[in-house]
Amino acid sequence: MYELAPGVYVETGFYNSNTGFMVTSEGVICFDTPMIPNEARAWRRTIDETSGGLPIRYVVITDHHRGHCLGSQWLSDTVIAHELAWKHMRNYGENFKQRVRDSFKKFPEIRAQFDVLRIVVPRITFQDRLTIVRGNRVVRVIHVKGHTPATSIIWLPKERVLFAGDIVWLDQHPFMTQANSAEWVEALKLIQRLDPKYIVPGHGPICSVQELDYLIDYLSFLRMRTKHLFDAGLTKQEVASLLTPEMRPWFPIPSKRSSKIESQIRSGISRVYDEFRRAREAEMAG
């Protein structure tokens, strides 16, 4: 665990995603949650020991994906998220829970931990920005979209620490299944303007604002090449087939995950293609 500023702690060693918390004079505010139940319970013990047993006032999640929200049941029932995240999470029923369990079929010791799974649906939502003030601490939650329509970042202006969620990927291809690449680039430029001292990505190592340039270049190249091929009249499938080999070398790909990552890249290309297709249709309709 790292203390990035007085009373601001981050853990990057959990199975699925990074998480953190801030200690205030009026309680603790958590940022995203560990996904694996045993890790979430251990994180709760760490929070209690570090804060001296102060109550956890809020859990702020950066989006509705399971890696960020499932640990809330061991932290607090007062979850804060964007309104669109709430709309997704209120429908997380038995089918969703079973998919979570099934994703760990190869790891029965982890799968068994999800036998009892309670979804904590956000109680507080917002549309654009939300400011939390506790004691002398200020937390700003900003809706940026990009990774998903519901994605937000968490900005601690006094401490200059920013929890970026899945807007920032440093060491692997970004997951773009629900993405809008134009919004994503704008979100990264917003983070650059905020100029945080530390950025906590949704996954991977803590970084600085300078390290965002590579991801901006990745997304900009993807947009440029997709638009060029789209304007040339190629189909979505043709663009994905041509462009996937160009995108693969941008980030290292473990051999065991090669086919999965390639499918992920193709999905991202398809999303960008659809952005330009919708723009063309809107232009023609206007």
DSSP 8-class letter at 216 = H
Q: What residue spans define the domains of the chain?
A: 2-207, 216-285
How far lies 78's CA from each of 14, 31, 55, 57, 217, in Å?
Answer: 22, 12, 11, 7, 38
Does residue 119 surpass a pLDDT of 80?
A: yes
* Band of residue 282 on the pLDDT scale cut at 50, 70, 90: confident
240: part of which helix (H) or strand (E)?
Answer: helix 236-247
Residue 224 has a pLDDT of: 96
Burial of 20 from C-beta contacts in 10 A (0-12 / 13-18 / 19+) = buried
72, 146 contact by CB (below 8 A): no
Domain 2-207 has CATH 1.10.540.10: no
Rounded to an integer, the average pLDDT of 189-204 is 96
Residue that wins the pLDDT comparison between 253 and 9: 9
DSSP string for residues in 166-203: TT--SSS----TT--HHHHHHHHHHHHHH--SEEEESS
* Angstrom distance (rounded) from CA 105 to CA 101: 7
Does residue 261 surpass a pLDDT of 80?
A: yes
* Band of residue 70 on the pLDDT scale cut at 50, 70, 90: very high
Percentage of the chain beyond pLDDT 90 is: 87
* Angstrom distance (rounded) from CA 223 to CA 120: 37
Task: Tell me, yes or no, if the pTM score tops 0.85.
Answer: yes
Residue 229 has a pLDDT of: 95
Rounded to an integer, the average pLDDT of 219-240 is 95
67, 36 contact by CB (below 8 A): no
Rounded to an integer, the average pLDDT of 49-68 is 95
DSSP 8-class letter at 76 = -
Does residue 286 surpass a pLDDT of 80?
A: no
* Band of residue 264 on the pLDDT scale cut at 50, 70, 90: very high
Residue 254 has a pLDDT of: 86
144, 182 contact by CB (below 8 A): no
267, 237 contact by CB (below 8 A): no
Residue 8 has a pLDDT of: 98
Rounded to an integer, the average pLDDT of 133-143 is 96
Residue 283 has a pLDDT of: 83
Residue 61 has a pLDDT of: 97
* Band of residue 171 on the pLDDT scale cut at 50, 70, 90: confident
* Angstrom distance (rounded) from CA 54 to CA 48: 7
Q: State the sign of the Cα–Cα–Cα–Cα dihedral 204, 225, 151, 157.
A: positive
Does residue 278 surpass a pLDDT of 80?
A: yes
Residue 245 has a pLDDT of: 94
